[in-house]
Structure 1
Amino acid sequence: MINQFSILHDKNKKQHVESIVAMAVYQADNAKWLREAIDSITKQTYTNFLFVIVIDGPVPQAISGVLNDAVKRDDRIILTQNSHNIGLASCMNAVIDFSMQFKPTFFVRMDADDISEEHRLLRQITYLKRHSNISVLGSALTEINESGFKVGARVMPASHKQIVRILPRRCSLNHPTVVIRYNVFNDGHRYNGDLLNTQDYFFWITLASKGYIFRNLKDRLLKFRRVNNFYKRRGLSKSLNEFKARVYAITKLKQFSPYNFFYACGVLSLRLMPGKIVKLAYKLDRHLLERFGKH
């Protein structure tokens, strides 16, 4: 089935903007959380951006209502629609291709159930302007529950060397926090549209193998929504794709070691265990990762 990508709302008059913020919206999204996510972008202290929202297939009236209200309040929002659900990776690729006409410098990721801190874009884009060698910039995040209360944190390794060294064992960037230079896309790179999950993990591995430079800020610039079934919803498909990504990283980055192979197999086995065990392992992983990120 060929996707029909159409523009539903576009009042933008600018021919050039510095940044594009990209979000995909789905039928299962929570309307209240979506409104909070959109507001967190439109109220940023940094303002030189267009906010491209892709409706990925049919959505309920509650979602449509939130989106229609948002475009009335802010002309920087461009609302687009897919004829059917094509997945996050393909949505992001569509935004990348569509937004090339504005000759942007930075591509900002945002999810429909998260909340960006009001200075997030200013902090990240200012940093990238001062460090022209960095192509992909992530940050730490705060984990919140359904009610918006803090339940954890995720602090990733900061330096490029640490980020790449750990890639064979885990995805070392928080995808919803990432800002990417458009030179990556101008060079021809895109997300793998055939993947319905772990698309970011594979993307970072490919970019790392090509020599692009990464960095994570220690600032917690995003509130990430962690719902009650978080530990149970990975599923076999995602677990297998994560295993494939680890093997891909070992191969592409030439980090062959018994430990990396053992880790990949061990995590796959763990993912298939009951939710309570996965939950305990997740908490231990957060603790170890935060300690690792301090060095």
Structure 2
Amino acid sequence: MKVSVIMGIYNCEKTLKESIDSLLNQSYQSFEIILCEDGSTDHTLQIAKEYVENYPQKIHLIQNETNMGLAYSLNRCIDSSKGEYIARMDGDDIAYENRLEKQMSYLEAHHECALVGSQVYLFNNTGIWGVRKPKIDPLKKDFLFSSQFVHPTIIIKKAILNQIGNYTVSKATLRAEDYELFMRLYAAGFTGHNLPDILLYYREDETTFKRRAYKYRLDEAKVRYNGFNKMKLMPLGLIYVLKPLIVGLIPQKVLTVLRRQGLGNETVDENPTRLYK
């Protein structure tokens, strides 16, 4: 098989089935799914076991004894993977049926590219509310403002992940493991590409925003400082190190309004279609 899709799953009983089904229905089928259950307190584990029972050749399950966090869980998945490429997916997002096909087609035609992501629809329980459009070919300086890849859209060469030490497991990266990883990749001389296609429905709602407590803003500032140093973006980067601390002072209701107005890389879809295509 070519691809190992890795998922750290935690308390996602309401969305996990839809997420896994979107993978099972892919037009590209040379892949396995590796789930790492991270100490859920709902029925996530039971749902995962049912899928493993129904698709024993396709889906594999790892269990953490206690909640260890996403980076730790993803590293366990990588260690157990058999694919040449690692694809990310979350237990509350939905992939287009041609997601893996399009991304693998690009990677196999562009061997100089370490990872590939895509554009995404932003959605919540009421439907699509926006679009996130990361830059097609991000440069180091683009990481000053924010991460340049939507984490659950990426596919990356496993050998490169292993070369840079996979995900960093630490308190500081608890809510920024993807940002930290991408900056290390670029600091090591690798580059990535975002397809212009929308290939994923990315769940972002009030619950997502509420998880971003101010202590995580402080940790992100540390991640930025270290990442910008490694990418040799200092001293200019010092200004951008403060960004999460400033944003964290803005009331949540105001942030939600700003996001829906399409600030930054987010633009509101004025004519949203049905959620699934």
Give your verdict on TM over 0.5: yes
Deviation readout 1:72-92 (Å, 9 max, x if unpaired) = 332300111111111110111
8 A Cα contact 2:6 2:35, kept in partner: yes
Q: Which residue of 2 aligns with 1:191?
A: 167
Q: Which residue of 1 aligns with 2:84?
A: 105
Question: Secondary structure, in 3 states, of the residue corresponding to 1:40?
Answer: helix
Superposition deviation, residue 136 in structure 1: 1.3
Aligned counterpart for 1:251 among listed residues 229, 232, 241: 229
State the alpha-carbon separation in 1 of the partners of residues 244 and 58 from structure 2. Answer: 42
TM superposition outliers: structure 1 runs of 4+ over 6 Å: none
State the alpha-carbon separation in 1 of the partners of residues 266 and 40 from structure 2. Answer: 39
1:129 is the counterpart of 2:113: no
Question: How many pairs are equivalent?
Answer: 264
Q: Which residue of 1 aligns with 2:18?
A: 36
Q: Which residue of 2 aligns with 1:265?
A: 242
Give, as a single letter, the amino acid of the residue that structure 1 aligns with 2:256: K
1:65 is the counterpart of 2:33: no
State the alpha-carbon separation in 2 of the partners of residues 231 and 98 from structure 1. Answer: 32
State the alpha-carbon separation in 1 of the partners of residues 266 and 206 from structure 2. Answer: 22
Superposition deviation, residue 111 in structure 1: 0.3
The structure where helix makes up a greater share of residues is 1
Unaligned runs of 5+ in 2: 268-277
8 A Cα contact 2:95 2:201, kept in partner: yes
State the alpha-carbon separation in 2 of the partners of residues 160 and 221 from structure 1. Answer: 18
Give the TM-score normalised by structure 1. Answer: 0.83
Q: Which residue of 1 aligns with 2:4?
A: 20
8 A Cα contact 1:168 1:247, kept in partner: no
Q: Which residue of 2 aligns with 1:218?
A: 196
Deviation readout 1:236-277 (Å, 9 max, x if unpaired) = 22211221222223312122354x433332441221221122
8 A Cα contact 1:20 1:52, kept in partner: yes
Deviation readout 1:174-204 (Å, 9 max, x if unpaired) = 0011111012134252111113220111111
Superposition deviation, residue 32 in structure 1: 2.9
Instruction: Report the CA distance shift for 1:249/1:282 in structure 2 as closer, same or farther (over 3 A).
Output: farther
Aligned counterpart for 2:142 among listed residues 160, 166, 169: 166
Superposition deviation, residue 232 in structure 1: 3.1
Superposition deviation, residue 139 in structure 1: 0.8
Unaligned runs of 5+ in 1: 1-16
* 1:169-180 → structure 2 map (5 Å cutoff): 169-180=145-156
Amino-acid identity (%): 29
